[in-house]
Amino acid sequence: MNDDELSDRLRRLVERAQPVELDEVMHRRPARGGHLLVVALAGVAVLALVAGAVALLRIDRRDAAPITTDPPATTVPALGDVPAVWYDARGLHHGDVVEQTPVEIGQQVGGDSIRGALALVRSGAVYLDPATGDVWFHPWGGEPRIVGHNSAAGPGGDPNGDTAAWFEGTELVVYDTAIGREISRTEERGNIDGGGPFLGGDHYPAGNGFLQVSAERVVWTNPGPYSHDLRTGRTSEVRVPEGRYLADLHDDVELLGQNGALVLRAPGRPERRYPHLESHTRLSPSGNFVLAVEGTEERHAAAIVDTRTGELWRVPRNVYPWIAWSYGDIALVDHTEDAFLACDAARRACERLHPDRPFLLPTN
C-alpha cells in the first residue's frame, strides 16, 4: 500500500458510518443522560479517565521572556511551580499544560473580548458554560463534570481550598469539589444575577461578584455585600463605614473604596489610604497582596501593595491593564495590545506569556 492508497482507505473506513439525516436530528431530543451518567460514574471512573485525560493534554512550552522590572525586581523567571491559569481558543491553560474543556467557557461579546466566569479551587477550575448556564468542575488532569445548572453569573472559588459557590436563581449553592457534593443551598435575598462585573467592567476582564469563597463563608457583592456563614447557615450584610464601599476582602483584610481612593484595612495595623490607587482592585488568594490600578497624570498601570507592610510595587509597563490573580501570589496583568504578564508579587518578577486573544482570566 502506498500513501495515496492509505488516504483512500481511511476515507472509506470512516464513510462506513451512515450520514445523519436532518429528520433524525429534528425528531430526536438530546439525551441528557450523557451528563447524568458522567456525574453518576465520576467517582468510580475518575482514576481510569485520568490516564485518558492526561493523554489529551497538550503541552505549551513557549519561552517565557523575563522583562525589565522596577528595582528591586529580580529577572529570574517569575512563576516557579505556581501555575498561571487562563482560557483561550487553545483551551484551559494551567501552567505549561493546556486542557480541553467540554464546552466553550468564553463567550465572544465583541471583536476582542469574551465574557465568562472562570474560578479556581485548589484541585481544579470551576467555570460557567455561558450557553447553557451549567457550572462545570474541571479537576486538573481529570474529567470535567457538571455540578450545577441555571447559573446566570457563574461560580466563585477558593484557590486555597475545595469550596466553590454560585447562584441558581435566588439560591446560593455551595459545593465541595473534594467530596463531590453540595454542602449548602440557601435562599438569599440578594443574588448575583449576571449583571455588573460579569458583563465586563473597567480593569476586570470578566468575572462576577464573589469576593471570597472559603470553607467558612461566602461573601459576594452586586448587590450587597453579603456574607453567608457556612457554620451557622446565616447570611448577614457586611457593614461598611459611611461613605465607603467594599471593593474586596480576604478574611480580616479589607479593601474599601472612598472618593476615588483605596483604603486598606488589615488587623493589627493602622489603616492605609492610597489616593492614587483606583478602587478596581483584587486581593490575592493569600490575602497578602493587593492588585490595583494606579492612576496619576504620569501613570495608569498596575500596581501591587503588600498588605503586611503597605509597600507598593509598580508593575512594569505604563499601560492600561486588565487584572486578575491566579494561584498563590501570581498576578495576571494584561496590557491588551502590548503584553500579558504573570508576576510573582512576593519576588517582584514578571514573565511574559503568550495567550491567544481574546482570552479569559480567573475571577479571583
Distances in whole angstroms, Cα of residue 356 to Cα of each of 93, 113, 193: 11, 11, 29
Cis bond before residue 355 (omega within 30° of 0): no
In whole angstroms, how close is the CB of 294 to other proteins at the nearest point? 35
Which of 69, 79, 97, 103: binder of other proteins (CB under 8 A)?
103
Residue 44 in contact with other proteins, rule: CB under 8 A: no
Site string for other proteins, 50-69 (x = CB under 8 A): -----xx-x-x---------
- DSSP single-letter state for residue 18: P
Residue 30 in contact with other proteins, rule: CB under 8 A: yes
**Residue 341 contacts residue 351 (beta carbons within 8 Å):** yes
What are 350's strand-pairing partners?
343
In whole angstroms, how close is the CB of 134 to other proteins at the nearest point? 10
Which of 65, 76, 89, 199: binder of other proteins (CB under 8 A)?
89
- List Cβ neighbours of 131 (8 Å cut-off, separation of 6 or more): 103, 104, 107
Residues 304-363 that bind other proteins (CB under 8 A): 356
Residues in the chain: 364
Residue 199 in contact with other proteins, rule: CB under 8 A: no
Residue 47 in contact with other proteins, rule: CB under 8 A: no
Residue 91 in contact with other proteins, rule: CB under 8 A: yes
Residue 29 in contact with other proteins, rule: CB under 8 A: yes
**Residue 317 contacts residue 356 (beta carbons within 8 Å):** no
Residues 121-180 that bind other proteins (CB under 8 A): 131-132, 143
Which of 24, 70, 112, 229: binder of other proteins (CB under 8 A)?
24
In whole angstroms, how close is the CB of 340 to other proteins at the nearest point? 16
- List Cβ neighbours of 327 (8 Å cut-off, separation of 6 or more): 82, 83, 85, 120, 159, 285
Burial of 187 (0-12, 13-18, 19+ CB in 10 A): exposed
- DSSP single-letter state for residue 188: -
Nearer to other proteins, 13 or 47 (CB): 13
Which of 50, 95, 96, 101: binder of other proteins (CB under 8 A)?
101
The span of 9-17, 118-126, 197-205, 315-323 binding other proteins (CB under 8 A) equals 9-17
Nearer to other proteins, 31 or 47 (CB): 31
Residue 184 in contact with other proteins, rule: CB under 8 A: no
The span of 25-33, 75-83, 275-283, 333-341 binding other proteins (CB under 8 A) equals 25-33
Residues 266-295 that bind other proteins (CB under 8 A): none
- List Cβ neighbours of 320 (8 Å cut-off, separation of 6 or more): 300, 301, 335, 336
Nearer to other proteins, 27 or 239 (CB): 27
In 3D, which of 301, 252, 251 has the Cα closest to residue 280?
A: 301
Residue type, 308: R
Residue 11 in contact with other proteins, rule: CB under 8 A: yes
Which of 66, 77, 95, 102: binder of other proteins (CB under 8 A)?
102
Burial of 131 (0-12, 13-18, 19+ CB in 10 A): exposed
Residue 8 in contact with other proteins, rule: CB under 8 A: yes
Backbone phi, psi, residue 359, to 5°: -140, 170
Nearer to other proteins, 107 or 123 (CB): 107
**Residue 85 contacts residue 179 (beta carbons within 8 Å):** no
The binding site for other proteins (CB under 8 A) comprises 1-3, 5-14, 16-20, 22, 24-26, 28-31, 34-35, 37-38, 41, 45, 55-56, 58, 60, 89-91, 100-104, 108, 131-132, 143, 356
